[in-house]
Amino acid sequence: MTEIGLPSGVRACLFDLDGVLTPTALVHSAAWKETFDEFLRKLQGADFRPFDPVEDYDRYVDGRPRADGVRTFLASRDIELPEGEEDDPPDRNTVHGLGNRKNALVVAKIRTEGVRPYPGSVRYLEAVRDAGLRTACVSSSANAHDVLVSAGIENLIDTRIDGLTALDRGLRGKPQPDTFLEAAHDLGLAPEQAAVFEDALVGMDAGRAGRFGYVVGVDRVGQAEELRRHGADTVVTDLADLIGVTP
């Protein structure tokens, strides 16, 4: 049996999607930047301060449900918008309108460009399943199913808890642990029997708050120390780094 870098009591792996299994975090970051910069330019004029696709993305929107990301980033700029309705059109300046504008950009990019998974993540998924562990995708994205299918890894995932599932079941988004807890429950396991894999700081917070058996931070952007401060038991730059490792 291939060593997979997890404690022996872990029976399932709960993977975030964007930035962990697929490089779609870059797509989301670019879509947030286009959305917020257009909004800020119209609101504040040509001398507006642009959305930073690294710092602002990591701090305010990465891993959060879409509407929470809008609220949190705008609050950092002392801007408040009406909530609006969940089906607000993308050109409406409400929390949900801005979120839907960003989502339309993401969907368009996924459909035109497709998605390729991280090769190391595919290797690790296969190693985990060979070792007899269950797998889940836990994402705040409403497009998780389309991304998994486009990336060709849907068959390696046993259950999926995404933004649509969270809305349907009334689950709070990250940094609350609800979606990860729901994934473990769907797999018939206690939190201490599952490992969380996340690249977002709010995902680390969720993993620690849920008292999961192990929390793996995936460092794609050079924030290893922050991931550890937020609760990672170990940090890797690629999931394949865990293959052959005994914790």
Q: What angle do CA 21, 27, 28 make, to 5 degrees?
A: 90
Asked whether 97 and 71 are in contact (CB, 8 A), the reply is: no
Half-sphere exposure of 59 (CA within 13 A, CB side): 11
Cα of first residue to Cα of last residue in the chain, in angstroms, is 15
Q: Is 18 a catalytic residue?
A: yes
Q: Which of 18, 56, 162, 219 is catalytic?
A: 18
Cα–Cα distance, 32 to 86 (Å, whole number): 18
Asked whether 224 and 235 are in contact (CB, 8 A), the reply is: yes
Asked whether 239 and 118 are in contact (CB, 8 A), the reply is: yes
Site of tokens 């999931």: 239
Whole-Å CA distances, 117 to 14, 39, 73, 123, 204: 16, 31, 28, 10, 21
Q: Is 16 a catalytic residue?
A: yes
Q: Catalytic positions, please?
A: 16, 18
